[in-house]
Amino acid sequence: MEKGRIFLVGVMLLQCWIAMAEAEYLKYKDSKQPLNTRIKDLVDRMTLEEKIGQMVQIERSVASADVVNKYYIGSVLSGGGSVPKEEATANDWVDMVNGFQRGALSTRLGIPMIYGVDAVHGHNNVYNATIFPHNVGLGATRDPQLVKRIGDATALEARATGIPYVFAPCIAVCRDPRWGRCYESYSEDHKIVQAMTEIIPGLQGDLPPNSQKGVPYVAGNKKVAACAKHYVGDGGTTKGINENNTVTTRHELLSIHMPAYYNSIIKGVSTIMVSYSSWNGEKMHTNYDLITRFLKNTLRFRGFVISDWEGIDKITSPPHANYTYSIEAGVNAGIDMVMTSYNFTEFLDGLTLLVKNNFVPMSRIDDAVKRILRVKFVMGLFENPLADYSLADQLGSQEHRELAREAVRKSLVLLKNGENADKPLLPLPKKASKILVSGSHADNLGYQCGGWTMKWQGLSGNNITSGTTILSAIKNTIDRDTEIVYQENPSLDYVKSNNFSYAIVVVGETPYAETNGDSLNLTLSGNGGETINNVCGGVKCVVVLITGRPVVMLPYVDIIEGLVAAWLPGSEGYGVTDVLFGDYGFSGKLARTWFKSVDQLPMNVGDSHYDPLFPFGFGLTTQGLKNN
């Protein structure tokens, strides 16, 4: 009996010792261990299959808990408009993300996956989220602290839906407005773009003092990992053709397109996305010199490098023509995580074969995995892998909508105000007998928000999400005794015969994203020009432009009394009326040159042939009743 008891106690002690040894042995699960110790411990335990799984990011429509588990998937994303269901709530999103995460946590090593989304002007895929002005408008504010606050709000709204990673900010320096992504760029001037990298500590949190330069940082579960994009030179392509070739010297590349990356790395940006574009004919997705030698070795960037959507497919022309070559070229260039979107098994099989046949060295795989794990550890994903519902009230909160409204106010640029300073048209009187509101963009929330809103290419209409159209804002701002008439495209006779006190014309571009927005003529959409001529030919008018960039205005500028660049203001139309009617003053300054004719393009401040309609930095000011 006694011997049996001793034996049992011995077995129990042995089991305790084994359990303690195992707990001690799993250093990577111990948050008190140094970061590099945790990374090394985990990488040393991983099989090739587990490592390559970490390097892939797949679209949510082909993801499931089983898929994430079976293939050790490192990351899942929502493409533009890819949602759990129509009008999904914050809780719907959390449930979906956690479902994928449980698949990751039930793998042998329990490495959490990271969910990413394009939150490029607020959490723009999500119904009821606050939609902030696109970057082209934020550049006109010249207010980095405002942009930092927008980063903070966007992080909270993303985390409200369980998402810890956003593909923002775009720090392109758009040098040609014919580019369909120009509205994603803060300015043609790299100094403004550099200043606006302040959105990164807004998204990720302020770096702690004495933190190591280049090491990613995310301050807990109310912040998100950010992504500086698109590395590098995406805004400099010939004629602004998206994904095309940037022809420039190394000096120009480093002095115009690279500086904002220095600021982003210093601010601890977690990830950097590679550009579809080429530099002097070499695809950025294959550029070892700029990705590995310069970004990783010279600039000491310690986060991970991610491809763009099917970016390695596009290494060949036509895309996906030689996928094995594309995998080898992209991974060996230094891309750590590949956004394969749908076709992920072909990538996993292809890279496995390339490693086994020594075309991709194991050291390259280990570098990629260490970088991905570094970001996951820094974010606290191992300690808090699952999201909860506690931040649901942050999505589209009143506080965030007020911030967006402030951003709209500060982004508006007053380009013309009456024929001379003695007779300004703006601010408009709230009290008038009868006013006319016209234009395709006056009562269209989708047009007001632009591309990357609910869907990749944006939408038309007022039921796309929550927000206030400019027409609604006008109706709720003017004196209640003022009669308001809305006619989208009235005739000149109608305008002349109705005795209006003044008119507000809201016209612009219809939504687009990326290549669909490339334009060689940069004209107003639809009946925009006709509406301006008919309305402004019959009554004194202010034209509010809803565009992603400067457009051709020379033919109309003489007939217009007041001209306002409102860019793509987002969901809060009250920000426009706040300034039109004088509660706040105009303060925005052009962060882009406004050309006279597309024949002048490309034309940027400092160019020898500089002859703009409105120069870089231009913006008339007015006084507001309330302080800005």
| pLDDT of 628 higher than 60 | no
Model confidence, pTM? 0.96
- The residue from 308, 336, 443, 578 that is catalytic is 308
Q: Packing angle between helix 398-411 and helix 144-160, nearest 10 degrees?
A: 150
| pLDDT of 310 higher than 70 | yes
| Structural contact between residues 557 and 563, judged by C-beta atoms closer than 8 angstroms | yes
What residue spans of 307-397 are helical by DSSP H?
323-333, 344-356, 362-379
Neighbours of 366 (CB within 10 A): 16
pLDDT tens profile 273-284: 999 999 999 999
Residue 65 is predicted with a pLDDT of 98
Residue 419 is predicted with a pLDDT of 78
**Mean pLDDT of the region 582-607:** 98
* Pairwise CA distance, residues 26 & 624, whole Å: 62
**C-alpha 263, offset from chain centre:** 17
20 pLDDT band, cuts 50/70/90, is low
Contacts of 44 (CB under 8 A, 6+ apart): none
**Mean pLDDT of the region 327-333:** 98
| Structural contact between residues 86 and 128, judged by C-beta atoms closer than 8 angstroms | no
Residue 14 is predicted with a pLDDT of 62
The torsion of the CA quartet 249, 255, 256, 262, rounded to 10 degrees, works out to 130
- The residue from 176, 514, 518, 561 that is catalytic is 514
Neighbours of 156 (CB within 10 A): 21
pLDDT tens profile 414-473: 999 997 767 899 999 999 999 999 999 999 999 999 999 999 999 999 999 999 999 999
367 as an active site residue: the answer is no
583 as an active site residue: the answer is no
| pLDDT of 25 higher than 80 | no
| Structural contact between residues 291 and 231, judged by C-beta atoms closer than 8 angstroms | yes
3 pLDDT band, cuts 50/70/90, is low
| Structural contact between residues 269 and 208, judged by C-beta atoms closer than 8 angstroms | no
Residue 514, SS3?
helix
